[in-house]
Amino acid sequence: MLDGARVLVAGGAGLIGANLVPRLLAAGARVRATLFRNPAPVVHPEVEYVRADLTRAEDCARVVHGVDHVFLCAASTSGARAIAHTPLVHVTPNVLMNAQMLQAASEARVSRFCFVSSSVAYPPSGDRPVRETEMFAGDPPDVYFHAGWMKRYAEVLCRTYAERITPAMPCVVIRPSNVYGPFDKFDPKTSHVTAALIRRVATGENPMTIWGTGDDVRDLIHVDDFLDGMLAVFGQVERFDAVNVASGTGVTVRAVLETLLDIAGQRDVEVRYDATKPQMIPIRLIDTTLAAERYGFRARIPLREGLARTLDWYRAHGAAHPR
Mean of the pLDDT values across residues 237-266? Answer: 97
Predicted local confidence at residue 78, as pLDDT: 60
Residue 143's pLDDT is what?
87
Alpha carbon of residue 25 to chain centroid: 20
Q: Classify domain 6-320 at the CATH superfamily level.
A: NAD(P)-binding Rossmann-like Domain (3.40.50.720)
User: Would the pLDDT of 182 be above 90?
Assistant: yes
320 has pLDDT over 80 = no
User: In this predicted model, which residue has the larger pLDDT, 191 or 278?
Assistant: 191
108-156 pLDDT, tens digit per residue, is 999 999 999 999 999 999 999 999 999 999 999 998 899 999 999 999 9
| CA 253 from centroid of its chain's CA atoms | 18
- Listed by start position, the domains of the chain span 6-320
The pLDDT score that the predictor gives to residue 323 is 63
Q: Work out the mean pLDDT of the chain and round it to a whole number.
A: 93
Q: What is the pTM of this model?
A: 0.95
Residues 273 and 295: their CA atoms lie apart, in Å, by 40
Between 188 and 296, where is the model more confident? 296
Burial class (CB in 10 A: 0-12, 13-18, 19+), 166: exposed
| pLDDT grade for 321, boundaries at 50, 70 and 90 | low
